[in-house]
Chain A
Amino acid sequence: GNSVTQMEGPVTLSEEAFLTINCTYTATGYPSLFWYVQYPGEGLQLLLKATKADDKGSNKGFEATYRKETTSFHLEKGSVQVSDSAVYFCALRSPNRDDKIIFGKGTRLHILP
Chain B
Amino acid sequence: NAGVTQTPKFRVLKTGQSMTLLCAQDMNHEYMYWYRQDPGMGLRLIHYSVGEGTTAKGEVPDGYNVSRLKKQNFLLGLESAAPSQTSVYFCASRRPSPGSNQPQHFGDGTRLSIL
A17 interface residue (CB < 8 Å to B): no
Q: Which of B64-72, B74-82, B96-104 contacts A (4 or more CB under 8 A)?
A: B96-104
Query: Which residues from chain B contact A43 at a C-beta distance below 8 Å?
Result: 4, 90, 92, 106-109
Q: Report, as a range, how many residues of chain A touch the other chain.
A: 20 to 34
A49 contacts B41, C-beta separation under 8 Å: no
Query: Which residues from chain A contact B50 at a C-beta distance below 8 Å?
Result: 99
Q: Report, as a range, how many residues of chain B touch the other chain.
A: 20 to 34
Closest chain-B Cβ to A96's Cβ sits at a distance in Å of 9
Query: Which residues from chain B contact A46 at a C-beta distance below 8 Å?
Result: 103-105
A49 contacts B103, C-beta separation under 8 Å: yes
How far does the alpha carbon of A32 sit from the alpha carbon of B67 in the complex, in Å?
Answer: 28
How far does the alpha carbon of A70 sit from the alpha carbon of B105 in the complex, in Å?
Answer: 29
How far does the alpha carbon of A109 sit from the alpha carbon of B81 in the complex, in Å?
Answer: 33
B103 contacts A41, C-beta separation under 8 Å: no
B residues whose Cβ falls under 8 Å from a Cβ of A: 4, 31, 40-43, 45, 48, 50, 56, 58, 90, 92, 96-97, 99-101, 103-109
